Structure 1
Amino acid sequence: MRETERARARAVIDLAALKANVRALRGKAPGAAFMAVVKADGYGHGAIPCARAAVEAGATWVGTATPQEALALKAHAGLPDDVRVMCWLWTPGGPWREAVEAGIDVSVSAEWALEEVVGAAEAVQKEAAEAVQKEAAEAVQTAAPVQTVARVQLKADTGLGRGGSQPADWAGLVRRALEAERAGHVRITGLWSHLACADEPGHPSTRQQLDRFREMVTYAEAQGVRPEVRHIANSPATLTLPEAHYDLVRPGVAMYGLSPSPDLGAPADLGLRPVMTLTAPVALVKHVPGGHGVSYGHHYVTPGETTLALVPLGYGDGVPRHASGAGPVLIGGKWRTTAGRIAMDQFVVDLGGDDVEAGAEAVLFGPGDRGEPTAEDWAQAAGTIGYEIVTRISARVPRVYVGG
């Protein structure tokens, strides 16, 4: 973008705040390694810049949902060699071979997945052996060696009911994984699970899940599994449940400065600072009479003579349409709300007769220190959670990185 060009909208990402959040979260679990979760393009903040910043602040693992996300990090993030990358959302026919060669830790919840990753490792090992024989015969070295043993983490379903092996199937998965490890195809690097209700303090399922995880880990280790890491702690568990920290914690949304739940407190109460600030310049200000319909369906009609401001952001940019008539915006130093339907590319704000210039800054959300709304305010207006508000901001809103 040229210096004379002003963006239609922008999301400012404060990497200094992200690093401070990582350090604060590490302080909550000083005996555990730290996995920076950057799935969904870093919860909308940008996976690669956020992964780099988190590693600078002490993260030694990076976590993604999909293998494509993990492979992109390996190819483009330039992370130190000793930083591990893990991904956990696999489907049949996924890029197992590429993950094996890249040294990515892959999650396995069922025997079909183990069979696919073992098959990928066998293929890599066979090709590597043939390459070594050819190089020996020709007395040359044609390529750098690749990883040939799959790094596998076994996932236990301790009660969330999504991914993971049910306790009834755990013995068979552990047995087959150990057979593959003895055959030299895999290395069992982790045992892990995920909590369902850690964001609800005192929820009985959390204790039940922790007990079940301990039992399933104990069984696997009794059979001979020697994992590098055992982990179950997400953001709320990192903040509030020391007994869940084990060898590794996996903060996601908290790393970006959002509270996992209002029940746990606001970000400042948790020592966190929101990382994203979403703004746009006002595109148009005009005077209208009373009784003037605003936006599609005329769900808002001006109660009297007033001024309207047009903000060039809409649901095509990730602004939730469900917040129509309720989404908060800071314009001209005052907190205001959207008037009428939020459209694909724009929405309107009733300034109540105030005047601002076209080009004035409209702040949808940020840390809140200037009196602006926060992502949580938008979440309440839309009937959702802060996670969704930041993650849904689309790629057509440019990210501007500061503090990096």
Structure 2
Amino acid sequence: MEVPFYRDTWAEINLDAIEANVVNMRQLLPVDTMVMAVVKANGYGHGAEEVAETALEAGAKWLGVALLDEAVRLRVSGIEAPILVLGWTRPEDVHIAAKYNISITVFQQEWVREASKCYKSQHPVFFHLKFDTGMGRLGVRDYSEAKGLIGEMKSDPRFIIEGAFTHFATADEDNQTYFNEQYSRFKEGLSWLKELGINPNLIHCGNSAASLKHPENMFNLVRFGIAMYGLSPSEEMKPGLPFKLEEAFSFHSRLVHVKSVPPNEGISYGAIYRTEKDEWIGTVPVGYADGWTRSLAKDSTVIVRNNRCPIAGKICMDQFMCRLPYEVPVGEKVTLIGGGPDVKITVDEVAARLGTINYEIPCMISERVPRIYFRSGERLKVRNPLLETNEEI
């Protein structure tokens, strides 16, 4: 039975867009280069399980997450494809990775020593060794670190290095100088592994930006993240994208109250918005608890009946108001992200209003907002974590 939701506020996820982006990426890459669909942060706010299933059907071979918890959730949901945890995992939790056949990232000799002490099973554990080539976040930085880590790994035959990778800091910028420096450092790191007798089956350095720009130089696996969701890694890259990205996320609500307000009346907390004349004001059941942050009140609009309608006053925890062009009925659809060919609010536009990047926008829409999934134009399913239960509602 479909999970219900009892507030007319929801996000729509177009799985056809996810599929198209994965298919186009695969066609851009050499035939022997695989795609890892990055579904961390609940699939960048789109829904990890649904995106993972769609990406795998479209030809992705691996899944990437940030946390061991995220990987376990995918396994429990029934997904059997290879999964890599890209972030740090506690050494005492290595048995969980083994239990669920999850590959984890390694970059510290001390971590390997501690994990070896904690791990009691004889089942093998698979690792991807990360190099810090200039991101400054996680990874081995020099030969001595690599040698110490490899030596520690070799002392425990249960620990197997199946992959090696790095992450680029500036691949989405026009100036590729730093990218080229990192790429050279990564190749040097791979030479260290060869010298130390390690030949990983999987080599990956390409995030969305690097993979779209340099598909032929990304070794045998790429990590397809932001572009899989139809969003450009940066504004700079938009003019040179090798294929059109199909945006998958939209955000909607409905008017729950419409009223005529006379001149010089205050709207919302602080009464900082004052009506200039007789105005039609609509109330929308979305607020900062849903991720529609208070900062969006300034100079922001929503779409009602193909009209851009300014947000009126401060955004509340659960609601905000907007100025309507004329009287419209309660129940009229309000689009916060999305729209048609004539009037549209993109994720990039919302990011620009907030002075941030498009990655953040779908991630910040909270799980209080149900996700409705569409495939081939048909409503496929609803995810509403507030009411997901084994009992019929």
Q: Which moved more, 1:259-268 or 1:161-170?
A: 259-268
* 1:379 aligned partner: 351
* 1:389 aligned partner: 361
Which 5+ residue runs of structure 1 have no aligned equivalent? 126-147
* 1:124 aligned partner: 121
* 1:132 aligned partner: none
Which of 133, 136, 139 lines up with 1:158 in the alignment? Answer: 133
Residue type of the partner of 2:211?
T
Distance 1:222 1:178 in 2: 15
Residue type of the partner of 2:50?
P
Q: For residues 211 and 399 of structure 1, do their structure 2 counterparts lie closer, same or farther at Cα, with a shift above 3 Å needed?
A: same
What do you get for the CA RMSD once the two structures are aligned? Answer: 2.2
Post-superposition shift, 1:149? 0.6
1:225 aligns with 2:223: no
1:105 aligns with 2:103: yes
Distance 1:349 1:213 in 2: 51
1:190 aligns with 2:186: no
What percentage of residue pairs aligned between the two structures are identical? 35
Write the deviation string for residues 166-190 of structure 1: whole angstroms up to 9, x where unpaired: 225433344325524xx42111111
Post-superposition shift, 1:84? 0.9
Aligned length: 375
Which 5+ residue runs of structure 2 have no aligned equivalent? 381-393
Structure 2-normalised TM-score?
A: 0.90
Structure 1-normalised TM-score?
A: 0.87
More strand, by proportion: 2
Instruction: Map residues 2-401 of structure 1 onto 2, 5 A cutoff.
Output: 7-30=7-30, 31-76=32-77, 78-80=78-80, 83-93=81-91, 95-121=93-119, 123-125=120-122, 148-167=123-142, 169-180=144-155, 183-242=156-215, 244-265=217-238, 270-352=243-325, 354-366=326-338, 369=341, 371-401=343-373
Indicate if the aligned counterparts of 1:259 and 1:267 stay in contact, CA closer than 8 A. Answer: no
Indicate if the aligned counterparts of 1:107 and 1:152 stay in contact, CA closer than 8 A. Answer: yes
Indicate if the aligned counterparts of 1:281 and 1:362 stay in contact, CA closer than 8 A. Answer: yes
Give the secondary structure class of the aligned counterpart of 1:262.
coil
Write the deviation string for residues 304-353 of structure 1: whole angstroms up to 9, x where unpaired: 2111111111110011221112233111211223122111111111114x
More helix, by proportion: 1
Distance 1:226 1:36 in 2: 24
Give the secondary structure class of the aligned counterpart of 1:115.
helix
Indicate if the aligned counterparts of 1:316 and 1:344 stay in contact, CA closer than 8 A. Answer: yes
Post-superposition shift, 1:108? 0.6
Write the deviation string for residues 133-177 of structure 1: whole angstroms up to 9, x where unpaired: xxxxxxxxxxxxxxx111011000000000111225433344325
Post-superposition shift, 1:243? 5.2
Q: Which moved more, 1:169-178 or 1:361-370?
A: 169-178
Give the secondary structure class of the aligned counterpart of 2:127.
strand
